Structure 1
């Protein structure tokens, strides 16, 4: 194993042991570092400022958010190398610090959500009902009704669901446990699906090798969207999570409550939704403030 490959592995092991980094986070770091290693000819761990300064020339076609992530990955890696004594200086000050403009999250309209659930309801009214339809109902109730991440949903255990409790206990990013409220409608949908799952199964959504994968979940969601007449490119489990957040804010929820429901450790992550909250606040001022009822231009 080359020095780069060996030190990248040690760095990733540190992230797991010290920060509890998720599989998705580790995969992103690995990709960024391995690509940089290839660009530098396998000399990333010994690269000087001149070599590091050349890296951004390979990122010209990438979005600012991706460039910022790659720069962050490399800064953290070089900091690790210095701290662990693998090199004596940190060249990451040669990396760019692009202004990061966060794009608004993709979401779905209330009408599109209604179409998705209407098709499920029609399937549940059929006799005999198909197990795949019952599973689909449980999946959509949890993704849109509770805002679960894809990884959280596929990793749900049967023991996470109890019929008399209005919440789930799930493990989110960094293996942190959090409580997720679950509606009565979702409990019914999940309970109905549980009846189709062998009681010996550990997972709520099992497969032949464990639980269904995130890739299979994406496929299930997109297949259903196509049947409902919605462009599959518009939807994913994460888009349903965004729709959950967006529609809650439109209904009057505040950002702090949303932060808790989404499992964000930092409110700044939740603030991507402030465009919705701000619009609601403007409407409140324009239509609910006492001065808005007075005609001052007489």
Structure 2
């Protein structure tokens, strides 16, 4: 059964482009279903057995309605694949429905607390500059923690905007899909402080293809010292969450707002509050289906850059970099 599940997940990954996290979640769900069947061939499962597993059995195991949805999705896709390939005559999961649960409103960090968060890192230390750059991307660009973790230097592309050097960011997040977005001025400046830091220059973060990991870990005790370079220096998504919690707690921000997604919700809400065009909002948030072969026109990128500068949360609160920008904008 392990081989059958592996073949299915390889098909999903290489034909449907699902993310690594989806592969892991589906594999775990199907392996748990195989245990439920007590070693029987998955191809012999009945509709009743699938319904029982996806409903009352998982419920009794303490799996809530929302947490059961990936199990249901895995079963539906798996048996649809088996039926399409002729491995089974009928799809026993065709009528399996998703568990219903009340819609939970996402927690969102307030602008006031985002301001406190941005002042929390210590800019006199390398770790503080690194953390500030990460927090800036979460607040000012609305990135997911996985997107921040996966960034390499090649994801930052130099361009010119109103006479200044500016970054454009190529982001790879949900479903391994790539999108391109402008980097707001405040985020741009913190990224440059980080990239030009002397301590970063001394770290070997070069990958096999010559690219460089963008955000580095500083005290990963699970990696032997002689292997602590290249990909092994990459900061994990979980560590990014820890950075949010660490500085958020120090700033006195409530626990329910100390999650990277709370910062993403703030970003999306502020774009809406400032009446940013819905098409540009979808592109900035990464909600629209991206076209991998499409190259944004210079005019479209200029429009998005201006909107991101104007409406992102960091432009509305006082930050260390914001103060510097204000001084630079004053006439001499």
Q: TM-score, normalized by length of structure 1?
A: 0.79
Q: Which residue of 2 aligns with 1:50?
A: 48
Q: Which residue of 2 aligns with 1:270?
A: none
CA apart distance, 1:189: 0.1
Q: Which whole-Å CA distance do the structure 1 matches of 2:81 and 2:103 have between them? A: 27
CA apart distance, 1:10: 0.9
2:156, 2:167 within 8 Å by CA — same for their partners in 1?
no
CA apart distance, 1:198: 2.3
Bigger RCO (CA 8 Å, 6+ sep): 2
Q: By percentage of residues, which structure has more helix?
A: 1
Q: How big is each residue's C-alpha offset from its partner over 1:209-267, in whole Å with a ceiling of 9 and x where there is no partner? A: 13111111111111111111123453122221112112221232244322111112369
Aligned ranges 1:221-260 → 2 under 5 Å: 221-260=244-283
Q: How big is each residue's C-alpha offset from its partner over 1:12-59, in whole Å with a ceiling of 9 and x where there is no partner? A: 101111111111221221222222222221333321123223211123
Aligned in 2, Cα 1:222/1:253: closer, same or farther, shift over 3 Å? same
**Number of matched residues?**
258
Q: Which residue of 2 aligns with 1:77?
A: 78
Deviates more, 1:196-205 or 1:221-230: 196-205
Aligned in 2, Cα 1:98/1:215: closer, same or farther, shift over 3 Å? closer
Q: Which whole-Å CA distance do the structure 2 matches of 1:39 and 1:254 have between them? A: 49
Give the RMSD, CA atoms, in angstroms.
Answer: 2.2
Q: Which residue of 2 aligns with 1:169?
A: 170
- Report the secondary structure of 1:204's partner residue: coil
Aligned in 2, Cα 1:262/1:223: closer, same or farther, shift over 3 Å? same
Q: Which residue of 2 aligns with 1:288?
A: none
Aligned in 2, Cα 1:42/1:235: closer, same or farther, shift over 3 Å? farther
Q: Which residue of 2 aligns with 1:158?
A: 153
Q: Which whole-Å CA distance do the structure 2 matches of 1:218 and 1:243 have between them? A: 16
Q: Which residue of 1 aligns with 2:328?
A: none
1:144, 1:243 within 8 Å by CA — same for their partners in 2?
yes
Q: Which residue of 1 aligns with 2:16?
A: 19
Segments of 5+ residues of structure 2 without an aligned counterpart are 159-164, 206-211, 218-227, 291-332
CA apart distance, 1:166: 4.1
1:65, 1:102 within 8 Å by CA — same for their partners in 2?
no
Q: How big is each residue's C-alpha offset from its partner over 1:151-197, in whole Å with a ceiling of 9 and x where there is no partner? A: 11111112323552342122233332211221111111000001232
CA apart distance, 1:102: 3.3
CA apart distance, 1:206: 2.2
Q: Which whole-Å CA distance do the structure 2 matches of 1:246 and 1:34 have between them? A: 39
Aligned in 2, Cα 1:66/1:255: closer, same or farther, shift over 3 Å? farther
CA apart distance, 1:7: 1.3
Q: Which residue of 2 aligns with 1:203?
A: 213
Q: Which residue of 1 aligns with 2:32?
A: 35
Q: TM-score, normalized by length of structure 2?
A: 0.71
Aligned ranges 1:102-181 → 2 under 5 Å: 102-120=103-121, 123-124=122-123, 129-162=124-157, 164-181=165-182
- Report the secondary structure of 2:166's partner residue: coil
